[in-house]
């Protein structure tokens, strides 16, 4: 969104309040300035110079989860998340809370392997005491073998096709096991799999931090790599990466990766999960916001789970409500993030499920954090891990 469109968009709000009906930060705080309508009104006041950039204003614009729940609700068609992205760009110097993370991000985006190696050392020394004192949230161990640094081409016998994986940072550094599960599943079904070491961050966390220009550089690099690839599909296990590439790249940079696909969509289209069987258990499913309000893939994961012999699927109440992760939101606004997550856990606990399944590594991390804080032993799995288990034991 450019400055002119931004001014037009935020100025046309009639303050009806429709957009705040599903806003998780409003539901949590009951504070107008922490809801969608309030944020649009404040951005309007910023444009008309009734409000000046300030730390307090930046706080309200940066403590949005960018979940997208408000997006389709505005009767005037205002794209609220895009307005918030632009507001963040304008206010990023006033946002003091995430300054350290932002500075680190800016200097490390082109050197992620080095940055995560340093973080891994720090994690080894300082994580336990900081976590035990409540100062830090749960983070899975940072791997010393990033997923993308493994083999680049995973061949298979009886080849039926060739796919590329868009790994994303969470899978690469925190959950490489999920990526390995996907390779096993695809190889077993005759798909040769390509993993690109040169892939960079999709740009989502960088845009979230208000660093629009840096995000554009990331997009250009990914487009350069993935547009040349010969593959039936480019598959992602992270709905944020998928949404950013499918929806934001064309709008912002005029181009996209044409055959980009969420893993659930690929599995259904190619009958990957037909005829599977697993050790019996009750499962429930949590909809990540960027699938519920972004890619719209809510039926596909349920069809996959219901189709696996042995799984008893039980729908939870409010399955589509946010888990409170929101990327840096979970670090910068830890208490609110935990509180939103605890409500999600209440819904999970009200089912008989022994496993909660989702399709987003970020949601997995958030649910793991809440589960540990509440000493709840329910298993949390990415859907790819369940399919892998059903296929290979
Ligand atoms: S993106 Fe989510 S948290 Fe942000 S204003 Fe919209 S509904 Fe609220
Ligand atoms: S729904 Fe649209 S018009 Fe109504 S308050 Fe929200 S942004 Fe303004």
How confident is the model over 318-366, as pLDDT tens digits? 999 999 999 888 988 899 999 999 999 999 999 989 999 999 999 999 9
Ligand nearest to the CA of 19: 2
CATH T-level fold of 274-392 = Rossmann fold (3.40.50)
pLDDT at residue 31 in the model:
95
Which pLDDT belongs to residue 192? 97
Give nearest CA residue, ligand 2 atom 4: 16
pLDDT at position 362: 97
Residues in contact with ligand 2 by the CB-under-6-Å rule are 13-19, 36-37, 40, 73-74, 76, 78, 80
Ligand with minimal distance to 324 CA? 1
Q: What is the biggest distance separating any 2 CA atoms in the chain, rounded to whole angstroms?
A: 66
Report the residue among 30, 78, 81, 290 best suited for mutation to probe ligand 1: largest number of ligand atoms under 8 A from its CB. 81
CATH 3.40.50 in the chain, residue ranges: 274-392
How many A from CA of 12 to the centre of ligand 2? 8
Beta bridge partners of 281: 311
Q: What is the pLDDT of residue 1?
A: 80
Distance 20 CA to ligand 1 centre (A): 8
CB 241 within 8 A of CB 173: no
Return the CATH number of the domain spanning residue range 3-91. 1.10.1060.10
Q: What does 335-356 look like in DSSP terms, one character per residue?
A: HHHHHHHHHHHHHHHTS--SEE
Low-confidence ranges of the chain (pLDDT < 50): none
pLDDT of residue 99: 74
Give the residue range(s) of CATH 1.10.1060.10 domains in the chain: 3-91
Q: Which ligand 1 atom sits closest to the C-alpha of 68? A: 1
CA of 251 to the centre of ligand 2 (A): 22
Q: Is 52 exposed, middle or buried (0-12, 13-18, 19+ CB in 10 A)?
A: exposed
- Measure 26 CA to ligand 1 centroid, in angstroms: 8
Distance CA 377, CA 250 (A): 42
Task: Collect all residues with Cβ–Cβ distance below 8 Å to 161 and sequence separation of at least 6.
Answer: 190, 191, 192, 232, 270
**Is 68 close to ligand 1, i.e. is its CB under 6 Å away?**
yes
40 lines ligand 1 (CB under 6 A): no
- Please give the model's pTM, rounded to 2 decimal places: 0.93
Cα–Cα distance measured from residue 83 to residue 87, given in angstroms and rounded to the nearest whole number: 6
Specify the pLDDT at position 91.
92
Runs of H (alpha helix) within the chain: 3-11, 24-29, 36-47, 55-62, 80-91, 99-108, 112-132, 169, 176-188, 204-208, 212-226, 239-243, 249-253, 263-269, 289-290, 299-307, 329-332, 334-349, 361-373, 383-392
Name the residue at shortest CA distance from atom 3 of ligand 2. 13
């Amino acid at each position: 969104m450019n400055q002119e469109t931004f001014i037009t968009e935020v100025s046309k709000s009639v303050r009806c309040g429709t957009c705040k009906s599903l806003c998780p930060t409003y539901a949590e705080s009951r504070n107008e300035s922490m809801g969608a309508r309030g944020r649009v009104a404040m951005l309007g006041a910023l444009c008309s110079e009734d409000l000046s950039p300030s730390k307090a204003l930046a706080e309200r614009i940066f403590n949005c989860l960018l979940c997208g729940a408000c997006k389709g609700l505005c009767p005037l068609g205002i794209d609220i998340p895009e307005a918030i992205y632009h507001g963040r760009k304008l206010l990023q110097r006033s946002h003091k809370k995430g300054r350290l993370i932002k500075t680190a991000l800016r200097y490390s985006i082109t050197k992620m392997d080095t940055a995560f190696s340093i973080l891994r050392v720090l994690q080894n020394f300082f994580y336990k005491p900081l976590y035990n004192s409540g100062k830090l949230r749960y983070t899975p161990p940072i791997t010393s073998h990033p997923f993308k640094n493994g083999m680049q081409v995973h061949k298979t016998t009886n080849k039926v096709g060739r796919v590329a994986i868009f790994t994303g940072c969470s899978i690469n550094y925190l959950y490489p096991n999920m990526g390995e599960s996907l390779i096993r599943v695809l190889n077993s079904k005759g798909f040769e799999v390509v993993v690109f070491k040169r892939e960079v961050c999709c740009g989502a966390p960088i845009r979230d931090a208000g660093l629009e220009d840096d995000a554009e550089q990331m997009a250009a690099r990914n487009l350069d790599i993935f547009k040349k690839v010969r593959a039936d599909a480019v598959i992602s296990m992270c709905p944020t990466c998928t949404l950013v590439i499918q929806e934001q790249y064309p709008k912002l940079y005029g181009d996209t990766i044409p055959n980009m696909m969420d893993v659930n969509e690929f599995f259904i289209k190619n009958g990957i999960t037909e005829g599977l069987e697993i050790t019996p258990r009750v499962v429930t499913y949590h909809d990540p916001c960027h699938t519920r309000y972004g890619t719209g893939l809510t039926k596909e994961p349920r069809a996959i789970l219901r189709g696996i012999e042995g799984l008893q699927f039980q729908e939870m109440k409010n399955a589509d409500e946010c888990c409170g992760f929101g990327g840096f939101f979970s670090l910068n606004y830890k208490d609110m993030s935990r509180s939103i997550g605890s409500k999600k856990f209440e819904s999970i606990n009200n089912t008989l499920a022994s496993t909660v399944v989702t399709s987003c590594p970020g949601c997995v991390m958030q649910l793991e954090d809440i589960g540990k804080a509440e000493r709840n032993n329910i298993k949390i799995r990415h859907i790819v891990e369940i399919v892998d288990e059903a296929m290979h034991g």
